[in-house]
Amino acid sequence: MKASLAERRQAGLTALYLGVFGMIWFSVPDSRPPLGTYLVVGSLTSILVAGIGALVVLRAHREGPVERNTTTDRRYLVIFAGELAAAGFGAVLLAVIHQSEYIPVLVGAVVGLHFLPLAPVLRDPALRVLGVAVCLAALAGLIAGLVSDVAPARVTASGIGVLLLGYAIGALIRIVVRRPGR
């Protein structure tokens, strides 16, 4: 069964947004070996997936209009604004108290938490799993920073980059490989 126009558009937007943000997360940690090559490959793959997502959105747009839900759009913007405010305030606070190495950990946790209320708004329950996984990546970065000489950003950002890229790829795969009865 072919994915509907709305499903294709949503999958394209997911791949586009998460591909771009995955690329950003891959660019946060220090790219010295041995992780550097993987970060570059992750960034390039993220951009490629974002580009494919953009093409999917454009094709869906050419096939016809998709009905917009202003209530959903408003809820999305409120959640996104709250995420930006919390991450921005927390980042400034950490910088003021000279703990800026933990900014990626805080931002990662906020990003993970923002997926929880987005799941019902975007009608994608799997975003809850992504949110928990992103929070766990932030926690792993925090622990690494506290108990070792590994930079928290190295663990947090590379982990979140992989998670966002994987979810973006999964969104594209879901519109190609459909289960019967859906």
What is the pLDDT at residue 33?
75
Instruction: Phi first, then psi: give them for residue 32, nearest 5 degrees.
Output: -65, 155
Give me the torsion for CA of 102, 105, 111, 117, rounded to 10°.
Answer: -110
Q: Where are the domains of the chain?
A: 5-176
Condensed to tens digits (0 to 9), the pLDDT of residues 32-79 reads 777 888 999 999 999 999 999 999 999 988 988 777 788 988 999 999
Condensed to tens digits (0 to 9), the pLDDT of residues 87-113 reads 999 999 999 999 999 999 999 999 999
Condensed to tens digits (0 to 9), the pLDDT of residues 124-157 reads 999 999 999 999 999 999 999 999 999 999 999 9
